[in-house]
Amino acid sequence: MEDLDALRGELTASINGAADLDALEAVRVAALGRKGSVTGLMKSLGQLDPSERKAAGQAFNALKDEIAEAIEARKKTLSESGLDARLAEEQVDVTLPARPERSGSIHPISQTIDEVISIFGEMGFTVAEGPDIEEDWYNFTALNIPPDHPARQEHDTFYLNAEKGDSRMVLRTHTSPVQIRTMQAKKPPIRIIVPGRTYRCDHDATHSPMFHQVEALVVDESTHMGHLKGCLIEFCRTFFGVEDLPVRFRPSYFPFTEPSAEVDIGCSREGGSLKIGAGADWLEILGSGMVNPKVLENCGIDSTRYQGFAFGIGIERLAMLKYGIPDLRTFYDSDIRWLDHFGFKPLDVPSLVGRALA
Ligand code: DAH
Instruction: Tell me how far the alpha carbon of residue 281 lies from the centroid of ligand 1, in angstroms.
Output: 23
Mean pLDDT, range 62-83, rounded to an integer: 91
Number of domains in the chain: 2
Residue with CA closest to ligand 1 atom 8: 312
In this structure, are 229 and 270 located in the same domain? yes
pLDDT per position as a tens digit, 279-309: 899 999 999 999 999 999 999 999 999 999 9
Last residue of a domain, one of 90, 116, 135: 90
Q: Which atom of ligand 1 is nearest to the CA of 312?
A: 8
Domain CATH for 129 = 3.30.930.10
On whether residue 319 sits in a domain, the answer given is yes
Confidence of residue 132 (pLDDT cuts 50, 70, 90): very high
On whether residue 353 sits in a domain, the answer given is no
Q: Is the pLDDT of residue 355 over 90?
A: no
Q: Is the pLDDT of residue 357 over 70?
A: no
The mean pLDDT value of the chain amounts to 91
Q: Is the pLDDT of residue 75 over 80?
A: yes
139 and 177 in contact (C-beta within 8 Å)? yes
Confidence of residue 320 (pLDDT cuts 50, 70, 90): very high
Q: Which atom of ligand 1 is nearest to the CA of 179?
A: 12
Confidence (pTM): 0.75
Confidence of residue 229 (pLDDT cuts 50, 70, 90): very high
Q: What is the pLDDT of residue 356?
A: 53
In this structure, are 146 and 218 located in the same domain? yes
Q: Is the pLDDT of residue 198 over 80?
A: yes
In this structure, are 124 and 165 located in the same domain? yes
In this structure, are 27 and 161 located in the same domain? no
Instruction: Tell me how far the alpha carbon of residue 110 lies from the centroid of ligand 1, in angstroms.
Output: 21
Give the separation between CA 89 and CA 68, rounded to whole angstroms: 31
Domain range for 6 is 2-90
Regarding the beta carbon of 289 and ligand 1, being less than 6 Å apart is answered yes
Residue with CA closest to ligand 1 atom 5: 312
Residue with CA closest to ligand 1 atom 10: 311
In this structure, are 309 and 207 located in the same domain? yes
In this structure, are 200 and 82 located in the same domain? no
Confidence of residue 153 (pLDDT cuts 50, 70, 90): confident
Q: What is the pLDDT of residue 143?
A: 97
In this structure, are 149 and 248 located in the same domain? yes
In this structure, are 162 and 22 located in the same domain? no
Q: Is the pLDDT of residue 151 over 90?
A: no
Give the separation between CA 215 and CA 315, rounded to whole angstroms: 10
Pocket test for ligand 1, best of 143, 235, 256, 290 (most atoms within 8 A of CB): 256
Mean pLDDT, range 1-24, rounded to an integer: 88
Regarding the beta carbon of 254 and ligand 1, being less than 6 Å apart is answered yes
In this structure, are 115 and 82 located in the same domain? no
On whether residue 347 sits in a domain, the answer given is no
Give the separation between CA 242 and CA 268, rounded to whole angstroms: 13
Task: List the Cα angle 306/155/293 in 5-degree steps.
Answer: 15
Last residue of a domain, one of 63, 90, 117: 90
Mean pLDDT, range 120-141, rounded to an integer: 96
Nearest to 310 by CA among 217, 225, 192: 217
In this structure, are 86 and 114 located in the same domain? no
Confidence of residue 144 (pLDDT cuts 50, 70, 90): very high
Confidence of residue 150 (pLDDT cuts 50, 70, 90): confident
Instruction: Tell me how far the alpha carbon of residue 190 lies from the centroid of ligand 1, in angstroms.
Output: 17
In this structure, are 76 and 114 located in the same domain? no
